[in-house]
Amino acid sequence: MPNLIVLLLKRQRKFLASNWLILFLLTLGLLSGWKCAQASTPDTAPPALKNLLTQIDTAASQGNVTKVMQFYSPNFTTGDGLTHANMQKALVGLWQRYPQLKYTTQLRSWKSEGNAIIAETVTNITGSPSANSNNLALNATITSRQRISGTQIVRQDILTERTQLSSGAKPPQININLPQQVRVGQQYNFDAIVTEPLGEDFILGAALEEPIQPEKYLSPTSVDLELLTTGGLFKVGKAPSTPGNQWLSAVILRGEGMTMVTQRLQVVK
């Protein structure tokens, strides 16, 4: 018989789309102050760099905010407008909610640029369900570029990101179709397709598009879920008229679980 619990939730269930999580799952690819020649692959990176990445992963996995923030310049900035102060505040909130996150960073490329170091990294972050997170599991992959001066990172830009939150005994499996980059004013498709048979289950869902701004990191967004008549969400969006970054999120709820996927969309000229 149809899952009546899901049916009763039609247009009433609220889900906090905690997009502030996304960029605070920051890759922590940091460098120490050594001299190095031009390089482009991880194989040629100095051992001290690789060792430091491991140390930073360890500190982040332990939720040691004080130790992690020592590697960020007081003048630290990001392409999304974050500063040293609001990044630290958000990390504290994130690690209180998800006290057992595990960070694993891989160096993808690095090079010298004057007196600075430019490093691109890929970080995977995983978190098991806990009472603090209302039993949400977390899985994120973030590619970022860091600029380091001396022993501190002074700027960080997120290149790509995908974060998935899930809960319940059987969260729906979702495939996301979304370009990584579009031009200003361009139309694009945003599809979130449930890949498994639904049987007699009803599903609820919602799609959310938000500009990435510092205040969004600290305040979750409330989303109304509606009954879906197809096996997923199928939306057509239009990029804004100015360059920037957007978060595109899809929330799918069925009787035995919930899945939320958020990806970054770059809008360029």
Give me the CATH number covering residue 144: 3.10.450.50
The domain of 54 spans 20-161
CA separation for the pair 195, 111 (Å, rounded): 41
Total domains, the chain: 2
- pLDDT (tens digit, 9 = 90+) per residue, 53-92? 888 899 899 999 999 998 889 999 998 888 999 889 888 8
Q: How would residue 126 be classed by pLDDT, with cut points 50, 70 and 90?
A: very high
**Shared domain check, 68 and 179:** no
Instruction: Find the mean pLDDT for residues 118-126.
Output: 93
Per-residue DSSP letter, 173: P
Residue 221 predicted with pLDDT over 60:
yes
**Shared domain check, 157 and 223:** no
**Shared domain check, 128 and 37:** yes
CA separation for the pair 167, 148 (Å, rounded): 38
Residue 205 predicted with pLDDT over 90:
yes
The one-letter amino acid code at 135 reads N
- Residue 171 contacts residue 257 (beta carbons within 8 Å): yes
Per-residue DSSP letter, 79: T
**Shared domain check, 145 and 100:** yes
Please report the pLDDT score of residue 106 as a whole number: 93
**Shared domain check, 99 and 193:** no
**Shared domain check, 197 and 110:** no
Please report the pLDDT score of residue 186 as a whole number: 97
- pLDDT (tens digit, 9 = 90+) per residue, 10-47? 333 444 444 334 333 443 433 333 334 444 577 887 77
The one-letter amino acid code at 256 reads E
**Shared domain check, 91 and 35:** yes
pTM: 0.81
